[in-house]
Amino acid sequence: AQKITQTQPGMFVQEKEAVTLDCTYDTSDPSYGLFWYKQPSSGEMIFLIYQGSYDQQNATEGRYSLNFQKARKSANLVISASQLGDSAMYFCAMRENTGRRALTFGSGTRLQVQP
Amino acid sequence: KAGVTQTPRYLIKTRGQQVTLSCSPISGHRSVSWYQQTPGQGLQFLFEYFSETQRNKGNFPGRFSGRQFSNSRSEMNVSTLELGDSALYLCASSLVSQGAQDTQYFGPGTRLTVL
């Protein structure tokens, strides 16, 4: 069964610094997708970035990049130049290509950006 | 393009009642998924609909049901509400219902409180 682990319940970072949020996953399916979402206190889940299991390069989207290490089954999110508005919960999620299409989410990391 | 919309945003019910939540997907999206988010259990998949058919279902009791209309709008219903049903219910839409890379975009959620 697929599983997502986020070991950092909370993180602090200074404004303008970079921060890495950890995510490890477990799956026996060779084809899968990894997603990161941001959830502000308002509750809406905002899609940030996607990485496919067969993608050769790490995904990047503006200030977000994904450090994908397939052999280690890790997909860490890197946020560069943190801003106060980045303070939120961050969820790593995975979907396998076969079987059920549901996203499996990790427990999340609460990021607080300090001025 | 308008995002996923959910109504109502907040709802207060008492035990034993039933409730219907509504979700309108992004225009052109045909797949709608529902998730329940609680502090204790995190984000859990309820079900997915595509072309008015339930494609996948999570491990929830039969009190939780849903449907999808021909315009892709979806509703979920919870009958005989229990205190444990208090949660944020998130709806997500995506273009199709295949492949690991099909990104799900979430709505703002409906916060249900059961008294």
pLDDT in tens, chain B (115 residues): 689 999 999 999 999 999 999 999 999 999 999 999 999 999 999 999 999 999 989 999 999 999 999 999 999 999 999 999 999 999 999 987 566 678 999 999 999 999 9
> Token pair 């946020």 is at which residue?
A79
Q: How far is CA A76 from CA A61, A65, A93, B63, in A?
A: 14, 8, 11, 37
Task: Report residue A48 as tokens.
Answer: 């940030």
Set of chain B residues whose Cβ sits within 8 Å of the Cβ of A47: 103-106
Interface size, chain A vs chain B, as Cβ–Cβ contacts under 8 Å: 64
- The pLDDT score that the predictor gives to residue B100 is 64
Mark yes or no for CB contact A44/B106 under 8 Å: yes
b/e code B54-82 from CB counts within 10 Å (16+ = b): ebbebebeeebbbebeeebbbbbebeebe
Q: What is the mean pLDDT of residues A98-103?
A: 76
pLDDT higher at A96 or B63: B63
- The pLDDT score that the predictor gives to residue B86 is 98
Mark yes or no for CB contact B106/A91 under 8 Å: no
Q: Which of B45, B90, B103 sits opposite A35 (nearest CB)?
A: B103
- The pLDDT score that the predictor gives to residue A1 is 63
CA B8 to chain CA centroid, Å, is 12
Task: Report residue A74 as tokens.
Answer: 């890790």
Q: Which of A32, A35, A101 sits opposite B56 (nearest CB)?
A: A101
Set of chain B residues whose Cβ sits within 8 Å of the Cβ of A101: 31, 33, 48, 55-56, 97-98, 102
pLDDT tens digit sequence for A39-60 = 999 999 999 999 999 999 999 9
Mark yes or no for CB contact A101/B107 under 8 Å: no
- The pLDDT score that the predictor gives to residue A60 is 97
- The pLDDT score that the predictor gives to residue B102 is 83
